[in-house]
């Protein structure tokens, strides 16, 4: 962990807040996918967030494309937008590992979600740890990702 002075820290916080707002207003990879190979439906009853996630996996279990539809609060939409952006190009093993790291990190803190990968922008979601009720908004898309990869037929719920 690199020590940062307070000024830089609050500048970073502002940057992350802007990133969340940007992704919630202009979500990436938003829309359907007629030729999806995997999909999952996720709901967060606590907040009313709903999303449907589509994945297109290649022959070597690589995530060739990802897209989502649905409606929800800014955090849930921004998280889905960031998630789809990041997992495209990963293989399913890497994606499931990242799902585990992120859900653990957001629920319990600790760990380092940036790891060795270039996942700096996921730190934008760090702020939600101060609001336990919103953690489920941030993790919904990741639960849907895991469910789609595992080909679970039941919708995922954060409850
Ligand atoms: Zn929400």
Does the structure show a pLDDT above 50 at 112? yes
Distance 138 CA to ligand 1 centre (A): 7
Query: 40: which strand partners?
Result: 53
Q: What integer pLDDT is reported at residue 117 of this predicted model? A: 46
| Cα→Cα distances 84→6, 63, 81, 87, 138, Å | 32, 10, 5, 5, 13
Q: What integer pLDDT is reported at residue 104 of this predicted model? A: 83
Distance 130 CA to ligand 1 centre (A): 14
Distance 82 CA to ligand 1 centre (A): 15
Does the structure show a pLDDT above 50 at 82? yes
Q: How confident is the model at residue 140 (pLDDT cuts 50, 70, 90)?
A: very high
Average pLDDT, the chain: 85
**What average pLDDT does range 109-132 have in this prediction?**
63
Q: What integer pLDDT is reported at residue 27 of this predicted model? A: 95
Does the structure show a pLDDT above 50 at 5? no
pTM (predicted TM-score): 0.85
Does the structure show a pLDDT above 80 at 14? no
* Strand, helix or coil for residue 38: strand
Q: Greater confidence, 113 or 130? A: 130
Does the structure show a pLDDT above 60 at 36? yes
**What average pLDDT does range 73-83 have in this prediction?**
93
Looking at the chain, the whole-number percentage of residues with pLDDT higher than 90 is 57
Q: How confident is the model at residue 124 (pLDDT cuts 50, 70, 90)?
A: confident
Q: What integer pLDDT is reported at residue 116 of this predicted model? A: 40
Distance 45 CA to ligand 1 centre (A): 9
Region of residue 133 (left: phi > 0; alpha: psi -120 to 50; beta: else): alpha
Euclidean distance between the first and the last CA atom of the chain, given in angstroms as a whole number: 33
d(CA 41, CA 72): 13
Q: 62: which DSSP letter? A: B
Distance 61 CA to ligand 1 centre (A): 30
Tokens of 95: 């994606």
């Amino acid at each position: 962990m690199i020590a940062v002075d307070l000024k830089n820290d609050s500048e970073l916080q502002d940057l992350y807040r802007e990133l969340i707002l940007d992704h919630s207003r202009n979500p990436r990879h938003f829309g359907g996918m007629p030729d999806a190979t995997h999909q999952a439906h996720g709901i967060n009853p606590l907040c009313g967030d709903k999303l449907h996630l589509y994945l297109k996996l290649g022959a070597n279990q690589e995530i060739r494309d990802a897209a989502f539809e649905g409606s929800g609060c800014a955090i849930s939409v921004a998280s889905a937008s960031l998630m789809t952006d990041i997992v495209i190009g990963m293989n399913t093993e890497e994606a499931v590992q990242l799902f585990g790291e992120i859900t653990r990190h957001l629920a319990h803190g600790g760990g380092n979600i940036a790891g060795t990968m270039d996942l700096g922008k996921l730190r934008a979601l760090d702020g939600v740890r101060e609001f336990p009720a919103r953690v489920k908004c941030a993790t919904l898309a990741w639960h849907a990702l895991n469910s789609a990869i595992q080909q679970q037929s039941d919708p995922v719920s954060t409850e």
